[in-house]
Chains A and B, each alone.
Chain A
Amino acid sequence: MGFLNFFLGEKKSSASVAKERLQLILAHERNGRSSSPDYLPQLQRELVAVISKYVSIHADDIKVHMERQGDLEVLEVKIELPETR
């Protein structure tokens, strides 16, 4: 078998197929499980309030997003400042 495979082009082992499939499905399922924490909307409102003291921004200009990267939870806050005219 090994000899033939060598000439016919290496075929992926079934174990590595299993590993790839698991990594894909589990990444997906873990995301669904850790739904974003419920304090995010409140955090967003308060951030808008604080920033509005200094710069005039709209509530939609700020995006708050929680994401899992491996073992880390990353809180992403994106604030778009209006163009200075």
Chain B
Amino acid sequence: MTSKIVVVTSGKGGVGKTTTSASFATGLAMRGHKTCVIDFDVGLRNLDLIMGVERRVVYDLINVINDEIKLTQALIKDKQLDKLYILAASQTRDKDALKQDGVERVLNELKEMEFEFIICDSPAGIETGALMAMHYADEALVVTNPEVSSVRDSDRILGMLSSKTKRAIDGGEPVKEHLLITRYNPNRVEGGQMLSLDDIHEILRTPLIGVIPESEIVLQASNQGLPVIHMQGSDVSEAYKDVVARFLGEDKPMRFTEAVKASWFKRVFGAK
């Protein structure tokens, strides 16, 4: 069995890395793949909250790296999906606890446990945590908002993926990069107030794996500790399911990328 390590990264904070990691890992497990999602944001863990397992965290990634406990003691099994496991970040230690050889050992142990997908939720920034999260990656989801600072930071991260990762250093096949645009608002794009997905795609020159529409449902989901992909029937949930399907090699046209025309009533009397 081959395992795939996928880093979810962006450079900029607050663009939807953790939201994406949680829903992407959940989506893979929903499709029957044994998946583990790891929080690399040591000191500022949040994936546990988004996954709704914050009260079940006893041990974390750093405990495993420091050989204080066994990996199986730190893995938290998802309540709904028996193929999904979460490995939390430490809340107390600092980033220097993330040693490269330790990270490698944990990833290898997960491979031995026959995890098909290992999702690494990167912290923001371009320091140790982010570098460790991407170092052993086979593929990368680069999360980008249609906004200038996010696009610039994504470009920087794409540069690092092609120069600082193990694959880049060993000179092997490069990390396979996927662009994921989140918080997309087609109506604002049509009004010329927001960069379009074609603009972003043209600037970053990275294959697009999906577009997640801007929606209040994301906050509703995180309030409850549910990965937003579980919000049945919502656009965001559907968009994440499409991302997972495309990642698994299926051909799905992009959805939720066209402006929705307001009704004549709204246009006359004003909606917002």
A13 contacts which chain B residues (CB < 8 A)? 191-193
**A33 located at the interface, meaning its Cβ lies under 8 Å from any Cβ of chain B in the complex:** yes
B-contacting residues, A2-31, CB 8 Å: 13-16, 18-19, 21-23, 25-26, 29-30
Q: A18-B148, A19-B203, A21-B148 are in contact. Are A26 and B195 (CB under 8 A)?
A: no
A18, A19, A21, A29: the one contacting B155 at CB < 8 Å is: A29
Q: A33-B159, A71-B205 are in contact. Are A14 and B152 (CB under 8 A)?
A: no
Fill in one digit per residue for B147-189: 1 if any A CB lies within 8 Å of its CB, else 0. 1100110011001000000000000000000000000000001
User: Would you call A22 and B203 a contact (CB within 8 A)?
Assistant: yes
User: Would you call A15 and B155 a contact (CB within 8 A)?
Assistant: no
Residue on A with the closest CB to B192?
A: A13
User: Would you call A19 and B152 a contact (CB within 8 A)?
Assistant: no
User: Would you call A30 and B159 a contact (CB within 8 A)?
Assistant: yes
Q: How far is the CA of A16 from the CA of B195 in the complex (A)?
A: 7
A16 contacts which chain B residues (CB < 8 A)? 192
A26 contacts which chain B residues (CB < 8 A)? 152, 155, 203
Q: How far is the CA of A30 from the CA of B160 in the complex (A)?
A: 11
A19, A29, A30: residue with the most chain B Cβ atoms closer than 10 Å: A19
Q: How far is the CA of A19 from the CA of B105 in the complex (A)?
A: 43
User: Would you call A25 and B189 a contact (CB within 8 A)?
Assistant: no
Query: Chain B's nearest CB lies how many Å from the CB of A41?
Result: 21
Q: How far is the CA of A23 from the CA of B152 in the complex (A)?
A: 9
B152, B159, B189, B196: the one contacting A22 at CB < 8 Å is: B152
**B199 located at the interface, meaning its Cβ lies under 8 Å from any Cβ of chain A in the complex:** yes
User: Would you call B156 and A29 a contact (CB within 8 A)?
Assistant: yes
B155 contacts which chain A residues (CB < 8 A)? 26, 29-30
B156, B159, B195, B205: the one contacting A18 at CB < 8 Å is: B195
A71 contacts which chain B residues (CB < 8 A)? 205
Query: Chain A's nearest CB lies how many Å from the CB of B195?
Result: 5
Query: Chain A's nearest CB lies how many Å from the CB of B94?
Result: 28
User: Would you call A15 and B196 a contact (CB within 8 A)?
Assistant: yes
Q: How far is the CA of A60 from the CA of B80 in the complex (A)?
A: 71
Q: How far is the CA of A18 from the CA of B149 in the complex (A)?
A: 10
A21 contacts which chain B residues (CB < 8 A)? 148
B245 contacts which chain A residues (CB < 8 A)? none
User: Would you call A15 and B159 a contact (CB within 8 A)?
Assistant: no
User: Would you call B159 and A19 a contact (CB within 8 A)?
Assistant: no
Query: Chain A's nearest CB lies how many Å from the CB of B214?
Result: 15
Residue on A with the closest CB to B158?
A: A30
**B126 located at the interface, meaning its Cβ lies under 8 Å from any Cβ of chain A in the complex:** no
Q: Can you list 7 A-B pairs with a CB-CB distance of less than 8 A?
A: A16-B192, A21-B148, A22-B152, A26-B152, A29-B156, A30-B155, A30-B159
What is A's interface to B at a CB cutoff of 8 Å?
13-16, 18-19, 21-23, 25-26, 29-30, 33, 71
What is B's interface to A at a CB cutoff of 8 Å?
147-148, 151-152, 155-156, 159, 189, 191-196, 199, 203, 205
**Supplied contacts A18-B195, A19-B195, A22-B195, 15 more A-B pairs, CB within 8 Å:** A13-B193, A14-B193, A15-B189, A15-B192, A15-B193, A15-B196, A18-B148, A22-B151, A23-B203, A25-B152, A26-B152, A26-B203, A29-B156, A30-B159, A33-B159
